[in-house]
Chains A and B, each alone.
Chain A
Amino acid sequence: DAGVIQSPRHEVTEMGQEVTLRCKPISGHNSLFWYRQTMMRGLELLIYFNNNVPIDDSGMPEDRFSAKMPNASFSTLKIQPSEPRDSAVYFCASITTDPHYYNEQFFGPGTRLTVL
């Protein structure tokens, strides 16, 4: 398996533009997590899905952020409009119900977002 796939790896955009980050979880994993990492705030959980259903979005900073998971193999995180303070590395992670790996979250390589 290729692991968790994220695209793009780097995104530079101007303030006010819409940004869409994409994630493909590991096949067979049933939970998907979106995190944001910054120097100031560390690793923050934004939202997570269980069986494609959003479970907890209390970490989503504001209404400018939205996430969807239309099927088990694809999720998006959208920021509209983007602001300079959204600049961060965004990670997607997935987890399986396989008891052997039940607790391990597998992270993607991240998307480094820069909003000018």
Chain B
Amino acid sequence: QQQVKQSPQSLIVQKGGISIINCAYENTAFDYFPWYQQFPGKGPALLIAIRPDVSEKKEGRFTISFNKSAKQFSLHIMDSQPGDSATYFCAAAEERELSSGSARQLTFGSGTQLTVLP
């Protein structure tokens, strides 16, 4: 069961253009929505994240837009650069109450391979 659906699978953008990646979810227990960036040969690393009580978060050229009613969120990369070429994963987190204490679990989207042409 794919709880977080991500699109597109791949994206090619010219330098200076805007890259947009979209994600949708169903589980209303999700309470935190991060985006991870992964370069070849490396592990994913947190890029930017948002909580559902705000509709937008901006950090430099990266912006998350969040629509709680539609259960959708997106990553916008402004003025895209060749160095942004990487795989981007959206994710959603939920708290699970366990006998051993609470635990945070992330569910990842399928990833978007972004290529920014020089």
Interface residues of A (CB under 8 A from B): 4, 31, 33, 42-43, 45, 48, 50-51, 53, 55-56, 91, 93, 95, 102-105, 107-110
Contacts and interface: CB of A to CB of B under 8 A. Distances in A.
Contacts of B41: 109-110
Interface of B: 32, 34, 41-46, 49, 89, 93, 96, 98, 100-101, 103-111
Determine chain B's interface SS by DSSP, over half rule. Answer: strand
A31 B107 CA distance: 15
A107 B108 contact: no
Nearest to B6: A42
Contacts of B109: 42
B98 A43 contact: no
Given A56-B105, A105-B106, A50 B42 contact: no
Given A43-B89, A43-B111, A109-B43, A103 B104 contact: yes
B45 A107 contact: yes
Contact of A43 (B44, B46, B100): B44
A68 to B, nearest CB: 16
Contacts of B42: 109-110
Contacts of A43: 44, 89, 108, 111
Given A43-B111, A103-B34, A103-B49, A51 B104 contact: no
Given A43-B108, A110-B41, 14 more contacts: A31-B103, A33-B106, A42-B110, A43-B111, A45-B107, A48-B103, A50-B103, A55-B96, A91-B43, A93-B43, A95-B104, A103-B104, A104-B49, A107-B45
